[in-house]
């Protein structure tokens, strides 16, 4: 068999095993809406940990992080800082979100806003924004799948057909099994990913330079500016780093799927303990960055930095190893893509379609609409994945700029009695508008700062100032009545 | 509406933020390389390992507070 044949066979074998595990996990359980979306709210430390980790290590951390280390250099370090700090933030926010979720049976981020502020329009707005900014995140995963197939087949399979195959796999996986399956496949995915990252991060520099230290010494000698900020860019300096780390660490759990994963935990204490341990998981990323930095000298001149990790793996290791890495990479794209489409589809059916168009729908019917939406959303992301050429990290940063606009509403709603619905709503609309307009006119970063961060500051200001000038409302509005 | 986290826990949590985010211009350099790794990368790896210690301390502070309130109730 040709080298690319070996690699591709292994990749598909790994995908097949993972899909089998997923289907097995979904058997013997009645799939009502709560079971399908939050796994019956009965996940302990281990499953919650796996599910949360399952969402963290995506194609972004695998191909995207190494891609930025290769093409941008120093600015890629922001990834290590923001992931670690995101858990510190979650230590304070998630337990409170969970409490509210248990008390009122909440399943989605949109439910949360509806409950907190008693407005179905705010809930619908959160739903639309959450879905809109999940699309680039799904797109990122699909693009990653395409890159993996492209490199593994030695450019024999083109990206578009590879992405189409990936979408078909993701959709059938989600429809068959729901969130529990996703959590279990995460186990397989994360162990493979961990092995792959360490093997690549140590192996590639060793083969080409005789060790990590020698690789960095050579790189510091050949391209001294590449390892610090702004690296190979002109505008990603320290101000950008600071604003981006703040934006993304605050926004990490604002993703609709992360929000939903908080509801799957067994207790608030589970979430606190998770927040303590999870940063250690970020260490994996150091190895991924090592590989990206090695590629700067080993495989210079790649048009697409996101292909750098797999390109050096292909030129360093035997074909079967590329197959294993490719399989691990494929799972790091498929599992998150499954989680994201699952979340976005549930949001649509439960928080937009039912309250606004068909209030009489049963949970079963909501489930059916959600399943249909999984297909629709995957096709939208597929379209963008085929017709756009943004780097993986830029896609993620766009999503973050959008979803972090929920943060003021969440924190103020949880911890500040005076937070007023209209002020929070206005702040959020302003934030999202700024993000969308700056992104569409390609003016991010602006004044050396992350555009999403600038929007977040304005959002916070409006929400706080607006709440201060509006009349204080009786606290009972928020805590006692059950919304919807 | 929830009980706000204690000031102590929040101050503990602020330390990793200062180390990994606000102080970037102090540690963003290549030299000295430690264990063959550029200083900025080494600094971040170090703080990935140190951060759980600070959140663990915050966890202790918070659970001590919850316990105390349970007793007085």
pLDDT: which is higher, A374 or A474: A374
The pLDDT, as a whole number, for residue A436 is: 85
A231-238 long-range contacts, Cβ below 8 Å, gap at least 24?
A: A231/A72, A231/A73, A231/A74, A231/A75, A231/A76, A232/A71, A232/A72, A232/A73, A233/A72, A233/A73, A233/A75, A235/A445, A235/A448, A236/A72, A236/A74, A236/A75, A236/A445, A237/A448, A238/B24, A238/B25, A238/B28
pTM (2 d.p.): 0.87
Report the gap between the CA of B62 and the closest CA in chain A (Å): 10
Taking the Cβ of residue B34 and every Cβ of chain A, the question of whether any pair is shorter than 8 Å is answered with no
List pLDDT tens digits, range B2-21.
678 888 888 999 999 999 99
Of A245-249, A426-430, A447-451, B39-43, which range is least confident?
A447-451
Of A20-34, A261-275, A336-350, A462-476, which range is least confident?
A20-34
Over residues A263-280, the mean pLDDT reads: 84
Distance CA A339, CA B12 (A): 33
Mean pLDDT of chain A: 83
Statement: residue A179 has pLDDT above 70: no
**Closest by CA position to A55, among listed A140, A182, A213:** A182
Phi/psi for A42 (5° steps) reads -120, 30
Q: CB A283 to CB B25 under 8 A?
A: no
pLDDT: which is higher, A346 or A209: A209
The pLDDT, as a whole number, for residue A33 is: 57
Statement: residue A111 has pLDDT above 80: yes
At A476, the pLDDT band (50, 70, 90 cuts) reads very low
Q: Tell me which chain A residues have a C-beta less than 8 angstroms from the C-beta of B22.
A: 242
The pLDDT, as a whole number, for residue A445 is: 76
List pLDDT tens digits, range A287-303.
999 999 999 999 888 88
Question: What percent of chain A is predicted at pLDDT more than 90?
Answer: 15
Statement: residue A55 has pLDDT above 70: no
Distance CA A401, CA A410 (A): 16
The pLDDT, as a whole number, for residue A484 is: 43
pLDDT: which is higher, A14 or B1: A14
The pLDDT, as a whole number, for residue A45 is: 53
The pLDDT, as a whole number, for residue A46 is: 58
Over residues B38-44, the mean pLDDT reads: 93
At A178, the pLDDT band (50, 70, 90 cuts) reads low
What are the Cα distances from residue A407, in Å, to A186, A233, A390, B73?
27, 29, 26, 33
Complex ipTM = 0.92
At A477, the pLDDT band (50, 70, 90 cuts) reads very low
The pLDDT, as a whole number, for residue A158 is: 81
At A407, the pLDDT band (50, 70, 90 cuts) reads very high
List pLDDT tens digits, range A185-238.
777 788 888 888 889 999 999 999 998 999 999 998 998 888 888 878 888 888
Which residue bears the tokens 């068999």?
Answer: A1
Statement: residue A40 has pLDDT above 60: no
Angle A451-469/A392-403 helices, nearest 10 degrees?
0
At A370, the pLDDT band (50, 70, 90 cuts) reads confident
Question: What percent of chain A is predicted at pLDDT more than 70?
Answer: 89
Q: Which residue of B has its CA nearest to A476?
A: B1
Statement: residue A36 has pLDDT above 80: no
Which residue bears the tokens 């780097």?
Answer: A391
The pLDDT, as a whole number, for residue B14 is: 92
Q: Which residue of A has its CA nearest to B20?
A: A81
Q: CB A229 to CB B28 under 8 A?
A: yes
Yes or no: say if A78 and A248 are a contact pair by the CB < 8 Å rule. Answer: yes
Kindly report the three-state secondary structure assignment for every residue of chain A.
Answer: CCHHHHHHHHHHHHHHHHHHHHHHHHCCCCCCHHHHHHHHHCECHHHHHHHHHHHHCCHHHHHHHHHHHHHCCHHHHHHHHHHHHHHHHHHHHHHHHHHHHHHHCCCCHHHHHHHHHCCHHHHHHHHHHHHHHHHHHHHHHHHHHHHHHHHHCCCCCCHHHHHHHHHHHHHHHHHHHHHHHHHHHHHHHHHHHHHHHHHHHHHHHHHHHCCHHHHHHHHHHHCHHHHCCCCCCCCCCHHHHHHHHHHHHHHHHHCHHHHHHHHCECCHHHHHHHHHHHHHHHHHHHHHHHHHHHHHHHCCCCCCHHHHHHHHHHHHCCHHHHHHHHHHHHHHHHHHHHHHHHHHHHHHHHHHHHHHHCCCCCHHHHHHHHHHHHHHHHHHHHHHHHHCCCCHHHHHHHHHHHHHHHHHHHHHHHHCCCCCHHHHHHHHHHHHHHHHHHHHCCCCCECCECHHHHHHHHHHHHHHHHHHHCCCCCCHHHHCCCCC
Which residue bears the tokens 């660490």?
Answer: A249
List pLDDT tens digits, range B20-36.
999 988 998 888 989 98
**Closest by CA position to A84, among listed B44, B48, B28:** B48
Taking the Cβ of residue B35 and every Cβ of chain A, the question of whether any pair is shorter than 8 Å is answered with yes
Q: Which residue of B has its CA nearest to A220?
A: B30
The pLDDT, as a whole number, for residue A41 is: 52
Over residues B37-56, the mean pLDDT reads: 94
pLDDT: which is higher, A19 or A481: A19
Over residues A140-146, the mean pLDDT reads: 86
The pLDDT, as a whole number, for residue B1 is: 54
Q: CB B40 to CB A80 under 8 A?
A: no
Q: Which residue of B has its CA nearest to A221?
A: B30
Yes or no: say if B36 and A213 are a contact pair by the CB < 8 Å rule. Answer: yes
Closest Cβ–Cβ partner in B9, B21, B45 for A85: B21
Statement: residue B53 has pLDDT above 90: yes
Q: CB A276 to CB B59 under 8 A?
A: yes
Q: Highest-confidence range of A34-43, A44-53, A85-94, A332-341, by mean pLDDT?
A: A85-94
Of A11-25, A100-114, A267-281, which range is least confident?
A11-25
Closest Cβ–Cβ partner in A89, A99, A282 for B48: A282
């Amino acid at each position: 068999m040709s080298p690319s044949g070996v690699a591709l066979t292994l990749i598909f074998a790994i995908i097949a095993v993972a899909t089998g595990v997923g289907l097995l996990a979904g058997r013997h359980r009645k799939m009502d809406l709560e079971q399908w979306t939050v796994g019956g709210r009965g996940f302990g430390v281990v499953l919650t940990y796996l599910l949360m980790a399952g969402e963290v290590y995506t194609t972004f951390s695998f191909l995207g992080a190494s891609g930025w280390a290769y093409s941008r250099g120093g600015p890629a370090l922001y990834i290590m800082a923001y992931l670690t700090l995101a858990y510190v933030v979650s230590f304070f926010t998630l337990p409170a979100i969970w409490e509210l979720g248990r008390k009122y049976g909440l399943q989605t981020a949109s439910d949360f806003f509806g409950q907190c502020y008693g407005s179905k329009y705010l809930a619908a707005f959160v739903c639309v924004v959450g879905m809109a900014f999940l699309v680039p995140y799904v797109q990122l995963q699909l693009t990653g799948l395409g890159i993996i197939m492209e490199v593994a087949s030695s450019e024999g399979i083109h990206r578009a057909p590879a992405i189409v195959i990936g979408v078909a796999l993701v959709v059938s996986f989600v429809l068959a099994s729901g969130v529990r399956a996703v959590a279990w496949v995460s186990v397989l995915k994360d162990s493979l990913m961990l092995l792959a990252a360490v093997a690549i991060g140590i192996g590639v520099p060793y083969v080409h330079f005789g060790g990590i230290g020698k690789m960095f010494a050579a790189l510091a000698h050949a391209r001294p500016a590449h390892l610090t900020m702004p690296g190979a860019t002109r505008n990603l300096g320290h101000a950008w780093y600071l604003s981006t780390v703040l934006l993304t660490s605050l926004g990490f759990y604002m993703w609709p799927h992360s929000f939903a994963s908080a509801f799957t935990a067994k207790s608030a204490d589970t979430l606190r303990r998770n927040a303590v341990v999870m940063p250690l998981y970020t260490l994996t990323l150091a190895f991924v960055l090592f590989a990206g930095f090695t590629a700067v000298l080993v495989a210079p001149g790649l048009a697409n930095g996101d292909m750098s990790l797999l390109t050096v793996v292909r030129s360093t290791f035997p074909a079967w190893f590329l197959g294993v890495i490719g399989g691990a990479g494929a799972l790091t794209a498929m599992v998150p893509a499954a989680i994201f489409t699952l979340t976005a589809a549930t949001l649509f059916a439960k928080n937009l379609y039912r309250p606004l168009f068909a209030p009489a729908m049963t949970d079963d019917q909501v489930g059916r609409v959600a399943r249909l939406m999984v297909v629709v959303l995957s096709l939208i992301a597929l379209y963008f994945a085929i017709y756009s050429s943004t780097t993986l990290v830029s896609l993620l940063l766009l999503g973050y700029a959008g979803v972090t606009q929920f943060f003021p509403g969440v924190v103020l709603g949880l911890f500040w009695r005076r937070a007023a619905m209209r002020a929070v709503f206005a702040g959020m609309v302003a934030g999202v508008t700024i993000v969308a307009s700056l992104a569409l006119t390609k003016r991010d970063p602006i004044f050396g700062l992350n555009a999403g961060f600038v929007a977040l500051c304005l959002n916070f200001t409006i929400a706080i100032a607006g709440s201060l000038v509006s009349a204080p409302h009786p606290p009972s509005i928020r805590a006692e009545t059950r919304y919807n | 509406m929830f009980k706000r986290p204690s000031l102590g826990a929040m101050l503990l949590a602020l330390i990793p933020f200062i180390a990994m985010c606000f102080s970037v211009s102090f540690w963003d350099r290549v030299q000295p390389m430690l264990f063959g790794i550029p200083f900025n990368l080494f600094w971040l790896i170090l703080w990935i390992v140190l951060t759980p210690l600070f959140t663990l301390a915050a966890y202790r502070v918070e659970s001590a507070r919850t316990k105390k309130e349970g007793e007085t109730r």
